Copies of this chain bind each other. A is one copy, B any other.
Amino acid sequence: MTDTTTAHHAFDADTAVERIGEGRYATVVSAGWDALGGGPNGGYTLALCQRALADALPHPDPLVVSGWFLRPPAHGPAEIAVEVARSGRRLATGGARLLQDGEEVARAVATFTDLAAAEGPTDVRNEPPVLPAPEECRNLLPDGPLPGVTITERVEYRMPELPGWMRGAPSGEPRTEFWMRFADGREPDVLALAPLTDAGWPVVLDLGVRASITVELTAHVRARPAPGWLACRVTTRHVSGGFHEEDFEIWDSAGRLVAQSRQLGLLVA
């Protein structure tokens, strides 16, 4: 497999994996992707597992990627154990376990394919987010990254108005649309999409809740994204007993849905 990414960019450098044996990879959990609330972002953790799976599976593009977030990962060395469940002509599926100090911290299962070879029909009953151009939008963080929330040094967000919860006035509507991109100019690719579906803020913050933790996230990757800003739409419709789903769509600069994810989250009171 040809690695089309480049170590010049933070996302690639911070998700590098080194094969150290049959189905074993060494990696380092970076301190550069910490989320609101502290600790590495779930999407970043998933990106580490996905990188090892991309090396182990024969097809170039993730199609379905699921992650379970079992324990808060620590910054520092980790090992990823990978096994291949099935490697077929069109689809290949494998599992990855992120291990620290002998404990499983996160688990991923992914099916890879070659999206360039997808030949079936296309019929989309949805529209991309309607947003002013990124340069006409507000930077979500005009004063720079949030202290301690290091992912805000890596990812930029633009939207017409700041979300209510950021202004101290939660809107009561658990949905939002915004632009997103890597801050260092790295263009999006298929490996970036599933992780980026977890790089926003929980839209339940606009219900006035304090935080949410991700139990599980599954992303579907539909197409290789065009360069440029990514338009995102995030929605929660069902909060029950403190559990909620969060649906995340990513549309590329050419107006195509390139990924969608759903996660199961647990509200933090």
Contact = CB atoms under 8 A, between A and B. Distances in A.
Interface residues of A, number: 52
Contact of A174 (B97, B125, B209): B125
A85 interface: yes
A240 interface: yes
A118 B238 contact: no
A122 interface: yes
Contact of A119 (B64, B107, B115, B241): B241
Q: Copy number in this complex?
A: 2
A118 B240 contact: yes
A152 interface: no
Interface in A155-201: 174
A119 B107 CA distance: 27
Contacts of A111: 68, 215-216, 264
Interface string A209-222: 10000011010101
A240 B221 CA distance: 10
A76 interface: no
